[in-house]
Amino acid sequence: METGIYAQQLELFQLFQPTNIKVCTSKFTFVDLFAGIGGFRIPLEELGGQCLGYSEIDKEAIKTYQNNFIKCNSEEIYLGDITNINKLPFEEIDILVGGVPCQPWSIAGKLLGLNDPRGKLWFNVFKLVKENQPKAFIFENVKGLTEPRNRASLNYIITNLTQAGYIIKYQVLNSYDFGLPQD
C-alpha cells in the first residue's frame, strides 16, 4: 500500500478520473467522398475503420446511405456537395476515399474528360488532398481512364496527386475476381 505523498497523489489522480472520454475502438478513420450508397464504406468498416463524414448530392443515394449506415446519435458529418468544401473539417484523416464520377471517361459517356463538369470534380479532389493531407487515399474510377484516349487525363490526375506529396499507384481490377456478379 502506498503511503505519504504518493498515496495523496494516487488519491488525487483517482478523484479526477475522466468519465466522459470515449474509448476509441476504431483502427483508422476515413472520409467517404462521392459516397453513393456506401460501396467504399462497407469494406472499410469491416476492416475496423470509422467514418468521420461523407459527401454526396443525390437525394436517393443520401437517403439509402443514411438508412443503412448513420445511427441516430452518430457524430458523423454530412458534408454535402464537394464543390462547396474548401477544407474538410477534421484535424486528421487516415484515409480519404471516393468513387469520383466516371461518365467523362466511360465508353458509355460522351468522353469529354476533364472538360465535363463531372470530370472537373477531380479539381475538388486535388484541393481536399492538398488541404487536408490524409495519410493515404483511394480513388476509384472506370477502366476507360487508363486507356490510350484518356492517357493525358490520367497523367494529369497522377501529376496533381504527386505534387500534393504522395506516391501514386493505380491498377485495373475486375469486380468479378472479388466475388461480385459483375464483369
Ligand X SMILES: C[S@@+](CC[C@H](N)C(=O)[O-])C[C@H]1O[C@@H](n2cnc3c(N)ncnc32)[C@H](O)[C@@H]1O
Contact residues for ligand X (CB under 6 A)? Answer: 34, 36-40, 55-58, 61, 81-83, 99, 101-102, 121
Categorise residue 75: left if φ over 0, alpha if ψ from -120 to 50, beta otherwise.
alpha
Question: Closest approach of Cβ 98 to ligand X, in Å?
Answer: 7
Closest CB 44 distance from ligand X, rounded Å: 11
**Residue number with CB closer to ligand X (55 or 132):** 55
- As measured in angstroms, the least distance from the Cβ of 153 to ligand X is 16
3-state secondary structure the chain: CCCHHHHHHHHHHHHCCCCCCCCCCCCEEEEEECCCCCCCHHHHHHCCEEEEEECCCCHHHHHHHHHHHCCCCCCCEECCCHHHCCCCCCCCCCEEEEECCCHHHCCCCCCCHHHCCCCCHHHHHHHHHHHHCCCEEEEECCHHHHCHHHHHHHHHHHHHHHHCCCCCCCCCCCHHHHCCCCC
The least CB distance from residue 8 to ligand X, in Å, is 56
Closest to ligand X by CB, 68 vs 159, is 68
For residues 125 and 33, the answer to whether their CB atoms sit within 8 Å is yes
Known catalytic residue: 51?
no
Closest-approach residue to ligand X (CB) = 36
Catalytic residue chosen out of the listed positions 24, 51, 72, 102 = 102
Phi, psi torsion values for 77, nearest 5 degrees = -105, 130
Give whichever of 29 and 55 is closer to ligand X, judged by the CB atom.
Answer: 55
Nearer to ligand X, 39 or 109 (CB): 39
- Residues marked active site are found at 102
